[in-house]
Amino acid sequence: MFARILATLALFTASQVLAQTEAPAAAPPETPPIPDTPAGAPSDIYRSVVRIEAAAQVPDYTTPWNSGRFGGGIGTGFLIGENTFLTNAHVVSNERRLLITVHGSPRKYPAKVKFIAHDCDLALLEVEDFTDFEKFPKLSLGDVPQLESQVRVIGYPIGGERLSVTRGVVSRIDFSSYSHSRADQHLIVQIDAAINPGNSGGPVLQDGKVVGVAFQGLRQADNTGYIIPTPVIRRFLKDIEDGQYDFYVDLGVATFPLYNPAMRKALKLADNGLGVLVTDVTPTGACDGILKPGDVLLTIDGHEIDSAGQILLDGEKVDLNEVVERKFAGDKVKLRWQNSEGSKEADVALKPLPPARMYAIQYEKKPRYLVFAGLVFQPLDTNLFASAKFDNVNVRRLYTDYVPKGIFTERQDIVLLTRVESDPINSQLADFAGLAVDKINGVTVKSLKHADELLHPATPPEFHVIELFGAPRPVVIPASAVEAANTRVKKTYAIERLSNFTE
């Protein structure tokens, strides 16, 4: 899991961040209408590609009671349906105000998010008044472009006020990381045209149809950009047809390549380059009780799985999970595998794995926290991990094993003591910051809300005893002094609320 997150650091999303402390100025009340362009003119398609100006507020996980800092950015979007503009999720994440500008017009149109999917970095917007857009062409989706074919990228890179058009060649089709969430992998298309800040959300066209959405680049390489291909876009649009986004389903297994001849021989596999080893089966996941570590996956929905974990799909070699990617909750996938008992088959009903979202950066959510006698408790997730840079080996182990080892079945949250706001009641306790909470008053802590309940019982004990993973001794707080300490801490550190349990 750490390897996947670190790999995304080499990628960057392509919305331009503007350093600012307040939202952009509102549009003038009186602006001219969008000028007409004859249908079929060369610039006609450009009218449907809009510049998105976003004002955002980013939560503060270091001091979670604060409201967070304001900032903003520029991105691109395009019209795909009646009052429906497609863009990237990272262009509009944590937004407080969105303004859309049309090519060739100074007018700014207020917009809002209709649907957003952070796991595949896509979002749909709508404007308050669609009247001026009624005659604009609506861009349609095409197929995955072929290797070595040419595509055209349209957007507003580097914050420009006018459209930019670049051309590139498809150089790779792969299953790889999406940097927005830092945890998700989907189908991507690599092109040899630079995807620069501001390009995010812009259409990538081939033969007049959209074959992808520009969304990220690669820091170590020049003229290398990535686009979200149409199978991912179509899945997003299909998912929201019922009025909500339900996330991707998960097979719930981890695999290991089977290149080594000795390993293949030990597993009694033919020397044919097929099959991958199952190394982990996630508790409560789709394959729990069906597969087990040591099994060798051979086919998925009839597609042979090679020793690298790839299958041939639509004429391209892709990760076996691409079959799962195109399905929804309740859909089934047919697996064939081999173990010491012989060859087996089963239809597996797919489902999401909500605990796995702990590994993804979260957006549009307030940090949860609890302040108790100057001790600040927060649930461990990637937002917090990225903010605080925890180096304690027990915290890292709990984070890494949370899903693979099924820790989530026992603990809804991994609760951390993240800060110690200095007060007489907690003197000499600063060294305990950054450790995970195991028990409070002898009871295993299952969630942040549970920690609050244990620290505020109907009949308080003489001392609250907080046991931390890896600590040489417990933290002991006299219960009779807590109320006075809370009052002092609120005043000294300007904390309006001592707790927040809702995201």
Q: Is 381 a catalytic residue?
A: no
Active-site entry in 15, 103, 121, 250: 121
Work out the number of other CB atoms within 10 angstroms of the CB of residue 112.
12
Judged by DSSP in three states, 324 sits in helix
Q: Which helix (H) or strand (E) holds 262?
A: helix 261-266
Burial 319-335 (b: 16+ CB within 10 A, else e): bbbbbbbbbeeeeebeb
Please write down the long-range contacts of 452-460, taking CB distance under 8 Å and 24 or more positions apart. Answer: 452/370, 452/372, 452/499, 452/501, 455/370, 455/372
CB-count burial class (<10 Å; 0-12, 13-18, 19+) for 230: buried
Q: Is 186 a catalytic residue?
A: no
Would you say how long the chain is, in residues?
503
Active-site entry in 15, 48, 90, 250: 90
Please tell me the distance from the alpha carbon of residue 172 to that of residue 401, in angstroms, as a whole number: 33
Active-site entry in 48, 176, 179, 200: 200
Q: Is 200 a catalytic residue?
A: yes
Burial 170-190 (b: 16+ CB within 10 A, else e): beebbbbbbbbbbbbbbbbbb
Q: How far is CA 203 from the centre of its chain?
A: 21
- Cβ distance 193 to 155 under 8 Å? no
Work out the number of other CB atoms within 10 angstroms of the CB of residue 377.
24
- Cβ distance 184 to 162 under 8 Å? no
User: Could you tell me the maximum CA-CA distance found in the chain, to the nearest angstrom?
Assistant: 81
**In the structure encoding, which two tokens stand for residue 76, read together?**
């691109």
Please tell me the distance from the alpha carbon of residue 242 to that of residue 123, in angstroms, as a whole number: 16
- Cβ distance 417 to 434 under 8 Å? yes
- Cβ distance 225 to 197 under 8 Å? no
Residues marked active site are found at 90, 121, 200
